[in-house]
Amino acid sequence: MAGKRLPMRKILEILRLRWVLGLTVRDTAQALHVSTGVVSSTTDRVAAAGLTYETASELPYEELEARLYPGPMPRREFIEPDLAWIHRELRRTGVTLELLHQEYAAEHGKRALGYAAFCRRYQRWRKKRGPVLRKHYRGGEVLFVDFSGKRPVIIDPTTGDATPVELFVAVMGASNFTYVEAVPSQRVPDWIGAHVRALEYLGGVPQTVVPDQLRSAVSKPHRIEPGLQRTYEDLGRHYETAIIPARPRKPKDKAKVEAGVLVAQRWILARLRNEVFFSLEALNERIAELLEDLNDRPMKHLGGISRRQLFERVDQPELRSLPGRAYEPAEWEVAKVHEDYHVAIREHWYSVPFELIGHEVDVRLTTRMVEIYRHGRRVAAHARSDHERFRPTTDPRHRPPNHKVLFDSNRDQLMQWARDVGPAATELMERLLDPQHNFAGSTRRRSGYGVRRLADKYELGRIEEACRRVLAFDRVSYKSVERILRLGLDREDDNGDRPSAPPIAHDQVRGASYFADDDDLTPDPEEESDAA
């Protein structure tokens, strides 16, 4: 009988359990961690050699082996795998040694090595390639960030359509403490927002952040000196951390996050595979639950300590404090200053100092502010006004001296006239001439002149009342004041009643008394009762 030779010690133990203690084949196999076939073939081989447990145990191991295996065991000729090919294939996404062995075994059949021998061959080959420098990270030193290649999906409850979303992963270098979040896309606002929430989750700021060279992080990819995306660079400046992108096609530069992505896929995405989510918020709530479990899970190779415990011990004490306010994502644009000392941004005009006419400036846009920079120095800041299309926002300090004189003199004249009319006219004129919404020759200042010209047709008292009503309805414009005066609405009571007009005297008008004096129109009670 040909087969794998067992150690003589294990053969004797099989014989003892089977023939001395009387255990069954199955119980013997379980006790010695071998298959039932090995137990049966071993006892058959010993019986064929004419041996008992007692006689076999008295023989030296060499003589016992010669009795049980009289001839040399036949050797199979195995086909050695291409180890360099295995190493290259393992760099590809999702490729494992088990998958490569299955492909190798399917190609060579019985002449293929077993899986254990296949792995041993590759491990020995790797050790011969030379030493590998293992990186050790200090506490609070580096945070690795990346997107997962595998993505969760959101289901539209109305149509049933599945929309894939991105999975953002951040891993601390020293402790492997992990942050995971689903975001709509890899666009800059989602990328930046995920960083802000990751740092809040950590409760501090690491010395460096290492991303991949994706478009949201790097504007000009380069092996040595990549150009950071402007908003990403601004985030690093806000949190006072260094952003150092990994080299292209060098996964060892960010091995921590590569491993962290695999962990997130196995311990978070895999556990979500049978769950359905109808919103990004619901998905992130579930991810947050699984993330806590992941960070609290003991790591076997570190003696059972969890990521959270290691983070609190190593990383957390070394993190720098978060700034007083979270970073507000901003967009950057380049604009040219027009001859009216304004720049056009998103169909709105914002003023800059008139000395910059004809120059290019950098514009930083947040959800609330528009900041304008020249050579890194801020030269103007305005409240963002996207809702007021094709209108100006002007700081009076940005006007040249001759414009200031013209605007201020005309404004003083209009304000003096309004003060002579009354408080309502004064407030309305101040709002029409608000310098934050006007520059020389603007429409609203012409509206101020229009209101003043109404004094040529109407009494000042009526103009004051019309201004009061316009302010009450918050419809500040020349047209609103003119319409109230033209229709006489300023003479109405506050409840909408017009003053009563004098009675009309005319032969054709009979009046109410004509009908009251006619006895024939008064109903007779007796006739009413008869009719009933």
Angle between helices 36-48 and 8-15 (to 10 degrees): 90
Dist. CA 97–CA 87, nearest whole Å: 9
Number of structural domains in the chain: 5
Q: What angle do CA 427, 466, 432 make, to 5 degrees?
A: 35
Task: Give the Cα separation of 317 and 315 in Å (integer).
Answer: 6
pLDDT at 57 (0 to 100)? 86
Asked if the model's pLDDT at residue 204 lies above 90, the reply is yes
Least confident residue range of 197-211, 262-276, 337-351, 511-525: 511-525
pLDDT at 2: 46
pLDDT at position 528: 40
Q: Dihedral through CA 257, CA 259, CA 263, CA 269, nearest 10?
A: 70
Asked if residue 279 has pLDDT above 70, the reply is: yes
Among 111-125, 153-167, 215-229, the range scoring the smallest mean pLDDT is: 215-229
Residues 206 and 301 in one domain: yes
What is the DSSP code (8-state) at residue 320?
A: B
pLDDT, one tens digit per residue, over 401-442 is 776 655 655 777 788 888 888 999 988 888 887 755 444 344
Least confident span in 44-53, 356-365, 500-509: 500-509
pLDDT, position 513: 57
Q: What pLDDT does residue 154 have?
A: 92
For residue 476, the model assigns a pLDDT of 82
For residues 90 and 121, state if they share a domain: yes
Burial class of residue 121, CB neighbours in 10 A (0-12, 13-18, 19+): middle
The yes-or-no verdict on residue 177 having pLDDT over 70 is yes
Q: How many CB atoms lie within 10 A of CB 192?
A: 21
In this predicted structure, the answer to whether residue 301 has a pLDDT above a threshold of 80 is no
DSSP of 352-363: --GGGTT-EEEE
Q: Do residues 36 and 14 lie in contact, with contact meaning Cβ atoms separated by under 8 Å?
A: no
Identify the three-state secondary structure at position 185. Answer: coil
**Residues whose CB is less than 8 angstroms from the CB of residue 375 and which lie 6 or more positions away in sequence, other chains included:** none
Q: Average of pLDDT values for 152-156?
A: 90
- For residues 172 and 197, membership in a common domain is answered with yes
Q: What are phi and psi of 19, to 5 degrees?
A: -95, -25
Is position 106 within any domain? yes
Stretch 172-195: mean pLDDT: 89
pLDDT greater than 70 at residue 506 = no
In a domain, 269, yes or no: yes
Residue 94, domain member (yes or no):
yes
3-state secondary structure of 91: coil
Of 529, 82, 89, 143, nearest to 320 (Cα)? Answer: 143
Task: Determine the pLDDT at residue 516.
Answer: 52
C-alpha to C-alpha distance for 98 and 119, rounded to whole angstroms: 9
Shared domain check, 428 and 306: no
Residues 6+ apart with CB under 8 A from 112: 78, 79, 104, 105, 118
Q: Output the CA torsion sign for 501, 503, 508, 512.
A: positive
Query: Which domain covers residue 262, as residue numbers?
Result: 142-318
Q: What is the mean pLDDT of residues 452-471?
A: 90
pLDDT tops 50 at residue 239: yes
Contact 424, 417 (CB under 8 A): no
pLDDT tens string 465-486: 999 998 888 878 888 899 989 9
- Of the pLDDT bands very low, low, confident and very high (cuts 50, 70, 90), residue 520 is very low
Burial code of 161-175, b = ≥16 C-beta within 10 A, e = fewer? eeeebbbbbbbbbbb
Q: Which helix (H) or strand (E) holds 350?
A: strand 348-351
pLDDT tier at 205, thresholds 50, 70, 90: very high
Q: Give 267's DSSP letter.
A: I
Nearest residue to 218 (alpha-carbon basis) of 240, 246, 194 = 246
**Average pLDDT, integer, range 185-208:** 91
> Average pLDDT of the chain?
81
CA neighbor of 336 nearest in space, from 370, 371, 364, 360: 360
pLDDT at 74 over 70: no
Same domain, 291 and 147: yes
Q: State the residue for tokens 């639950």.
A: 289
* 450 and 302 share one domain: no
Answer whether residue 520 is part of any domain.
Answer: no
**Position 279 in a domain:** yes
Return all residues near 19 (Cβ < 8 A) that are at least 6 apart: 43, 52, 53
Predicted pLDDT at 175: 84
Gap between the terminal Cα atoms of the chain? 128
Q: What is the pLDDT of residues 88-106, one digit of tens each?
A: 677 565 678 888 999 998 8
Instruction: Collapse the DSSP code of 218 into the 3-class scheme (helix H, G, I; strand E, B; otherwise coil) and give the result.
Output: strand
**Across 108-118, average pLDDT:** 87
| Domain shared by 373 and 349, yes or no | yes
Residue 508 lies in a domain: no
C-alpha separations of 271 from 154, 268, 293 in Å: 15, 5, 12
Structure tokens at 518: 């006619």
Task: Retrieve residue 211's tokens.
Answer: 């991303």
Instruction: Verify that 353 and 449 share a domain, yes or no.
Output: no
Is 294 exposed, middle or buried, given 0-12, 13-18 or 19+ CB atoms closer than 10 A? buried
Under the banding of pLDDT at 50, 70 and 90, the label for residue 257 is low
User: Chain centroid to CA 19: how far?
Assistant: 69
The answer on 307 and 191 residing in a single domain is yes
What is the rounded CA–CA span in Å between residue 363 and residue 381?
10
213/203 Cα distance (integer angstroms): 26
Write the single-letter amino acid at 316.
Answer: Q
Do 392 and 417 belong to one domain? no
Q: Determine, yes or no, domain membership for 377.
A: yes
Asked whether residue 391 is domain-assigned, the answer is yes
User: Is the domain of 111 the same as that of 149?
Assistant: no
Instruction: Count the Cβ atoms, other than its own, within 10 Å of residue 272.
Output: 16
Is there a single domain that holds both residue 284 and residue 380?
A: no
